[in-house]
Amino acid sequence: MDAALDVFGERGLKGARIGDIANRMGVAHGTVYNYVDSKDALFWLLIDRGMRPEAVEPPIELPVTAPSQDQVLARLVEQITTGFALPALDAAFARDTVPDARAELTGVVEELYDRTLETRRFASAFERSALDLPELYQLFFVRVRRVLFERVETYIALRAEHGYFRVGVSAEVSARYLVETVTFFARHRYRDPDPVRASDGDVRAQVVELLANAFTPEKP
C-alpha cells in the first residue's frame, strides 16, 4: 500500500503497472499478486483501509479482489467525509458573533493545513488518478475540491460583509488563494525538487500567520 501510494501519485491508476509497484517494493512482479489480484484491487485497498490514521489490519482473505465501481466510489466518499472533516469551519458558520476574527481564522487555517498534511499522499494519488478517470474526476475535482472552495468562499464573504475580513473585489479569488496556499505548503511542496529548507513546524506557523495577516486588519 505504501509503495502504491507513491506510484499512483506519480502515474495515476491508469498509468501505473503492478510491475512499477513491485519494483518500488523491491520484490518480484508476481509477489504482488499474492496480496491483490489487480491494480484496481490495490487501489480499492488504499481507499478502504489506507486513509485511516491507525495501523492497518491485513485483510482476512488474500488476494484481495476489487468490488464494483459504485462500491469503490461510495467508500471513497465515506473516507473523505470522515478523514477530511473540518469542525472549526463548521463552527464558524454556526457563529452569529465573532469576538476574535483573527483567532477564528487562525483555527480554520490550522485545521485545513493539518488535514491536508495528514492526507497528502492519498490526495496526491487520487488527484493524479482523477485526471485520467472521469468518475474519479467528477468526485475529486467537482464534489470534493470545488465544494471546499465554495465553503471557504462563503465563509470569507460572510466575514468580509460584516467588516471582520479585508477582501478585494472577489471572495472567490480570496478563497482560492487561501486553499491553494495551504495545499502547496502542506502537500505539493513535498514533491518539489527544490523545496524550502525550513522545518515542517516553522512552515506551518508562517503560512498560518501570513494568511491571518492577509485577511484580518491590524486593528479590529
- Residue-wise pLDDT for 18-74, tens only, equals 999 999 999 999 999 999 999 999 999 998 887 766 677 778 899 999 999 899 989
- CATH number of the domain that residue 7 is part of: 1.10.10.60
Q: Shortest CA distance to 139 belongs to which of 47, 212, 218, 66?
A: 47
| 128 belongs to a structural domain | yes
Residues 34 and 119 in one domain: no
Beta bridge mates, 36? 64
Residues 20 and 90 in one domain: no
Residues 115 and 9 in one domain: no
Residues 93 and 50 in one domain: no
Residues 36 and 93 in one domain: no
Residues 107 and 54 in one domain: no
- More confident site: 107 or 167: 107
Q: What number is the average pLDDT over the span 187-216? A: 94
| 25 belongs to a structural domain | yes
Residues 96 and 201 in one domain: yes
C-alpha cell at position 90: 463548521
| 78 belongs to a structural domain | no
| 206 belongs to a structural domain | yes
- More confident site: 65 or 84: 65
Range with the poorest average pLDDT among 6-10, 77-81, 85-89, 101-105? 77-81
- CATH number of the domain that residue 146 is part of: 1.10.357.10
| 220 belongs to a structural domain | no
Count the domains in the chain.
2
Residues 27 and 108 in one domain: no
Residues 185 and 89 in one domain: yes
Q: For residues 12 and 5, give the distance between their C-alpha atoms in angstroms, rounded to a whole number.
A: 9
| Percent of the chain residues topping a pLDDT of 90 | 76
* Helices 101-118/120-130 angle, 10° precision: 70
End position of a domain, from candidates 18, 42, 67: 67
End position of a domain, from candidates 22, 40, 67: 67
What residue numbers bound the domain in which 105 lies? Answer: 84-215
Residues 91 and 36 in one domain: no
| 61 belongs to a structural domain | yes
| 159 belongs to a structural domain | yes
Residues 182 and 135 in one domain: yes
Residues 155 and 61 in one domain: no
- More confident site: 81 or 128: 128
| 13 belongs to a structural domain | yes
What string of H, E and C letters represents the secondary structure of the chain? Answer: CHHHHHHHHHHHHHHCCHHHHHHHHCCCHHHHHHCECCHHHHHHHHHHHHCCCCCCCCCCCCCECCCCHHHHHHHHHHHHHHHCCCHHHHHHHCCCCCCCHHHHHHHHHHHHHHHHHHCHHHHHHHHHHHCCCHHHHHHHHHHHHHHHHHHHHHHHHHHHHCCCCCCCCCHHHHHHHHHHHHHHHHCHHHHCCCCCCCCHHHHHHHHHHHHHHHHCCCCC
